[in-house]
Amino acid sequence: MSDEGRRLDPEDWNTFRRDFHELLDTCIDRMQAARDLPWQPKPADMADKVAIGQSGNDSKDVFVRVVNDIMPYATGNTHPRFFGWVHGAGLPVSVAAEMVAATMNSNLGGRDHGAVEVERAVINWLCKLSGLPETAFGILTSGTSQATIIALSAARVRLFGDVRKTGIGNLPAMRVYIAEGGHSCVAKALEVMGHGSDAVVTIALNDQGQMDLNSLADSVAHDQARGIVPLAVVGTAGSVNTGIYDPLNALADFCTDNNLWLHCDAAFGFWSVLADKPWGDLANGIHRADSIATDFHKWLGVPYDCGACLIADRDLHRDTFASRPEYLVGQADGLAGGELWFCDYGIELSRGFKALKVWTAIEALGTDAIGAAITDNCKQAALMGQLAEQSSVLALVQPVVSNLCCFTINHGLPADIAARLQLSGEAVFSTTTLAGRPCMRAAIVNHRTTSDDIHIAMAAVEREVLNSR
């Protein structure tokens, strides 16, 4: 019998089923043991071990290699004392959804099928949660970096009309304003869009670490006087360095008065809307943004990757990206039907079924439980801040307002201390520089973290600082 049409499926489904079940059990064991599995360095010969070149192996053998040679060397953000950068910890229910999504293997670029309805449901839910007007819609993205490109592209179409066809060659110079310490994804978006990172204007902070409105007004007026066109203001909801939120209502007033697009970078900070007060009020005013970028893979804990871009004007959003050559023309009936094709709202044509892991998380866990975990993280960051203040060898750099805590050390270098704690498996901090001072930095977006973890991590930091004397 010819192998045609049967070459790539398992030869023996019963054997495959048994091996797959075993692999699934190993994955569940790993998730259950997350507390005991911190980051560990990869072996020196890892590159050799994973080099491709042994094709045609039995899938069972390959599963064994995955489990032994790859799975142990993850980023470590599933561990409760991982506080570095802004890494979500992952949700077991969403891992199950990922398996289903891969099984369905849907392409969410377009066409009329059930997965599209799930993404629509997720976007509708997110729009409602954000408080954006009924005219809003959006799209799931790989993360906030991609969402920022989509949002600023829509801002550009609103301001300059059909740049899609004519490009940027004839456009005047333009600027995007963001507070000092705002995320580099904005500069990157402008580089990709062809304006260059010089199009970013950094605005000074006020005494609460937020974008200073007077400085913003001065910069915009200064640029306008020089014939430079202000395109957008980026308000940050949860700054990557400090966790501080810009005054979004005041920024919305300013943008309305000056006919500027207000984009909100709420990569992780968006999710404080689910927290108890006072944190639940941090993002007040976000509903007045023209666009919002956020991530499900950060504070919501959905496994990587998944972000979202919401745009208040759905028609503008569609006009910015829709393109239907003859091979993508929609039809009245059949699979080529359906009025919602997500390829009309973003950069990608082929898109995976990210929505299912989000939908499953929200439906299975509920926003109350997720909000409680987010509230816990804010309390834990406050506790970390208190411990830093009480310590004789640490100093809090600025008050903790959300889930982020940065502190200096009075002996040794933060990067050295962070590396030692990462290597010991005790905790993962990252580092940054605030007001010229090198700091240890913790962004707590981890639903597994407890107050005990904070005490353990801070005791380990103090010990290492004292050992550095």
Ligand X SMILES: Cc1ncc(COP(=O)(O)O)c(C=O)c1O
Backbone angles phi, psi at 206, to 5 degrees: -85, -175
- Cβ nearer to ligand X, comparing 19 with 246: 246
Q: How far apart are the first and last CA of the chain?
A: 75
CA dist., res. 48 & res. 120, Å (int): 43
Least distance CB 265 / ligand X (angstroms): 5
- What is the contact mask toward ligand X in residues 97 to 136, using x (rule: CB under 6 A)? ----------------------------------------
Does 265 contact ligand X by CB under 6 A? yes
Give the DSSP letter of residue 205. Answer: B
Stretch that binds ligand X, among 8-16, 122-130, 143-151, 323-331 (CB under 6 A): 143-151
> Would residue 338 be called left, alpha or beta, if left means φ above 0 and alpha means ψ between -120 and 50 degrees?
left
* Near ligand X in 75-94, by CB under 6 A: 86
Site for ligand X (CB under 6 A): which residue of 130, 144, 320, 432?
144
Specify the 3-state DSSP secondary structure of 48: helix
In angstroms, give the least distance from the CB of 222 to ligand X.
Answer: 26
Structure tokens at 94: 């969403």
Mask: binding to ligand X, 195-234, rule CB under 6 A, as x and -? ----------------------------------------
Pick between residue 145 and residue 391 the one whose CB is nearest to ligand X.
145
Selected from 78, 145, 210, 422, the binder of ligand X by CB under 6 A is: 145
Residues 6 or more apart whose Cβ sits within 8 Å of residue 223: 175, 201, 229, 230
Residue 308 contacts residue 138 (beta carbons within 8 Å):
yes
Strand ranges for 76-224 from DSSP E = 137-141, 174-179, 200-203
- Please say which residue, 85 or 160, places its beta carbon nearer to ligand X: 85
Phi-psi map region of 330: left, alpha, beta (phi>0 left; psi -120 to 50 alpha)? beta
Q: Is 441 one of the binding residues for ligand X (CB under 6 A)?
A: no
Give CA separation, 301 vs 37, 91, 238, 294, 318, in Å.
Answer: 17, 6, 16, 13, 29
The binder of ligand X chosen from 39, 268, 359, 407 (CB under 6 A): 268
442 binds ligand X, rule: CB under 6 A: no
**271-310 positions binding ligand X, by CB under 6 A:** 295, 307
Q: Which residue, 149 or 427, is less far from ligand X as judged by CB? A: 149
Residue ranges that bind ligand X, judged by CB under 6 A:
86, 143-145, 183, 185, 236, 238, 240, 265, 267-268, 295, 307
